[in-house]
Amino acid sequence: MKTTDYLSLIIKELEQTATLISDSEADQLVEALLNAKKVFVTGAGRSGLAGKAFVMRMMHMGIDAYVVGETVTANLEQGDLLIVCSGSGETRTLIPIAEKAKELGGTVVTVTINPQSTISTIADRIIQLPGITKDGSAGSYQTIQPMGSLFEQTMLLFFDAVILRFMEIKQLDSNTMYGKHANLE
C-alpha cells in the first residue's frame, strides 16, 4: 500500500471518530473554559503535545492558559480549570496532579478513552474520545494505527473544534488572535 493510501485511511478513521464524540461533553468543556479564571493542561507523551497545542491556541484567544510543569506556569487557585489528557486515564504521573488540583479548589476535566479510569473518578467532567490506549487496555474502537495514535489525533482536532466554538461565542476571528501570536521568530 502507498503512503498516501494510509493517509486516506487515517482521515477516514478520524471522520468516523468525530461522529462518536458527545456534543454535550464538548459543550461542557467550552463552558468550563468560559468560566475559568486560569486554565492548566497536562498530559504525557503525544497526548501532552496535543494539550500543549491547545494551550497555545487558548493563549492566542486571550485565555490565561498554562502547561503544567513548565517554568512559567502560574499557581492553580480556586476557580481555575485543569484539563488532564490521558487516553488510559491511568497515567501515574497525572493522577497526583488531578488530586492536587481538586484539593486546591480547581475544576478537573479529563479527556480520555476510559470514563471508568482513576483520573475520571477524580474529574468533575469527562470528555470521552474514541480510540484505543497504547497498550490496548481500554477502548474498543478499531484502528489501523499503532498504539494511541487515533486518540491523540482525535484529541488535537477536537481541541481545534473547541477553539472554533469558543471563537464563535466570543466573536473572535483569526485576525484578532494573530495579535497575540509570537513575534520574536
In this structure, what CATH number is given to the domain that contains residue 16?
A: 3.40.50.10490
158 part of a folded domain = yes
Q: pLDDT at position 174, please? A: 81
Q: pLDDT at position 138, please? A: 57
Mean pLDDT value across residues 15-23? 91
Residue 123 · residue 109 · CB < 8 Å: yes
Predicted confidence (pLDDT) at residue 134 exceeds the cutoff of 80: no
178 part of a folded domain = no
183 part of a folded domain = no
Counted domains in the chain: 1
Q: Give the three cell numbers for residue 106.
A: 480547581
Q: pLDDT at position 80, please? A: 97
Mean pLDDT value across residues 106-121? 96
Full residue range of the structural domain in which residue 165 is found: 3-170
179 part of a folded domain = no
Instruction: Name the active-site residue from 99, 152, 168, 185.
Output: 152
Residues ≥6 apart with Cβ < 8 Å to 107: 32, 36, 79, 80, 81, 82, 101, 124, 125
16 part of a folded domain = yes
Most confident of 57-61, 73-77, 124-128, 142-146: 124-128
Q: pLDDT at position 25, please? A: 94
184 part of a folded domain = no
29 part of a folded domain = yes
Q: pLDDT at position 147, please? A: 78
Whether residue 99 lies in the annotated active site: no
Tell me the pLDDT band of 141, cut-offs 50, 70 and 90: confident
176 part of a folded domain = no
Residue in the block written with cell 467532567: 125
Mean pLDDT value across residues 4-10? 91
Alpha helices (H) along 19-138: 23-35, 45-60, 95-103, 118-122
Residue in the block written with cell 483569526: 174
Q: 10 Å Cβ neighbour count for 185? A: 4
The residue ranges of DSSP E strands in 131-174, in sequence order, are: none
User: How deeply is 182 buried, as exposed, middle or buried, from its count of CB atoms within 10 A (0-12, 13-18, 19+)?
Assistant: exposed
